Structure 1
């Protein structure tokens, strides 16, 4: 009886393994003895494991979108004559949407977003009101590094606001209000006198032009929007 129980337990604990060779990638990190090759380093994330693999998968997916052309697909039966044209199919690429929340613009990720827009690497931006506001505020005054543990009440007594471990002085919001109110007044006047209908995209493009600051992703988006062939639009 005991022997049967031990045999049963042993069979469960030492169950024969499924062979994963050739079915799953092996976990291997980057070998820095090869020097620092950023492309290979990023590629190695896929086989690093944990969250690095999720980032590696995302990088591969983005690269697929950047490299895709309509010419990679077989024409379907209901294609138009233009869609059948080889040159048209080779020039047709993915339309890239970039979505983010305001906290990323409050942080240093804003500079990455600005680079992507400046160099026409995305076609459409989808963000929140805060993602618009924070970009403009940072053109007027800096955000500072703090700590997640700082008490809100104590910061409030010093005229400071906390976004995670970032600190934003009250003065930044005052400067923003002083900057934007005259623009809104002028836009209202234009709406009345010139019958302009201010859609969210038009409003945001106007603010990007008005801020006229190359550190702003809205500034670059407004420049792209001015040149229709670049095809970048902001949705709010």
Structure 2
């Protein structure tokens, strides 16, 4: 009886035969520096570089989608949502929320945020108490570049505070206090005499008017009628949750990009992935949200470079707020805040 011959192909014993990739599937390819340095092409190559670079590319696409939607003519179907705006801002087809923590203002990202607000590219800001205070402080004295390894005891003896690898002398706070305390006293007097109701947003708007310094984010927020929400004016770190909850009231945001280093393993809202927000109705189920796991001071300016700054000329200049309007502000429509 003749024995049967069986051919064994080692690779098939371990690996299952591959199916063909769908037509149009991108291939992994990074930037070729032999072609010289073209920063725009370099950042475009992130979309096919994999890992967090790929998420950066997806975030650029998502932000450009929201910008495109914002610049479209107002959709008549949304007319009920678009009637009236308590700050006097002109409505657009898409309202863009910009949320950030105080350390972004402490760092050089402040100038990127100021650029977006100055050019009327966003519709409201959500931040923490430090995100307000440190913007105004920088109008009087600078924050310095330090080092993560500097010893706290030594800095304390010198009256210097460390924020990561940034240094803020105590003198900066003294200059800030000298400026803000007389303003707060005047506001208290207005409350007693005129019945002005000072909400956090109204306080920030008044300070933005009083600072009268174009380096300030909130100077431009005041000038351009961009409301600033600070849900924890005396403390906090709740900007992401506040922004998501605001969109819950309209059955979810149409677009969303997260940029942070927080992770979801501990169940925190700050680390939650976008899909968790979809389950609550904070982001619409048909949206295409993106999360980049990266440190914002490295990545946020690059995102702006590839999105908003490319289309700066398409944004409509705001109607500057007149001082008469600001001075006549006695608390009407304060319920929005």
**TM > 0.5 between the two?**
yes
Matches within 5 A, 1:49-198: 49-68=50-69, 92-198=92-198
Tell me the CA shift for residue 42 of structure 1: 2.5
Q: Choose between structure 1 and 2: higher helix proportion.
A: 1
Q: Which has the higher contact order (CA 8 A, sep 6+)?
A: 2
Residue matched to 1:30: 31
2:116 & 2:175 partners in 1: Cα distance?
A: 27
Q: Which has the larger Rg?
A: 1
Residue matched to 1:208: 208
SS at match of 2:139: helix
Residue matched to 1:234: 228
1:141 & 1:113 partners in 2: Cα distance?
A: 19
Tell me the CA shift for residue 123 of structure 1: 0.4
Gap runs ≥5 in structure 1: 1-6, 84-90, 226-231
RMSD (Å), alpha carbons? 2.9
SS at match of 1:56: helix
Residue matched to 2:309: none
1:218 & 1:101 partners in 2: Cα distance?
A: 15
Tell me the CA shift for residue 74 of structure 1: 9.3
2:75 & 2:186 partners in 1: Cα distance?
A: 52
Residue matched to 2:46: 45
**Distance verdict in 2 for CA 1:148–1:69, change over 3 Å:** closer
Gap runs ≥5 in structure 2: 1-7, 84-90, 231-337
Residue matched to 2:224: 224
Q: TM-score, normalised by structure 2?
A: 0.57
**Distance verdict in 2 for CA 1:100–1:177, change over 3 Å:** same
Write out per-residue CA displacement over residues 82-128 of structure 1, whole angstroms, 9 at most, x where no aligned residue. Answer: 99xxxxxxx94210000000000000000000000000010010111
Conserved? CA contact 2:145–2:165, under 8 Å: yes
Residue matched to 1:20: 21
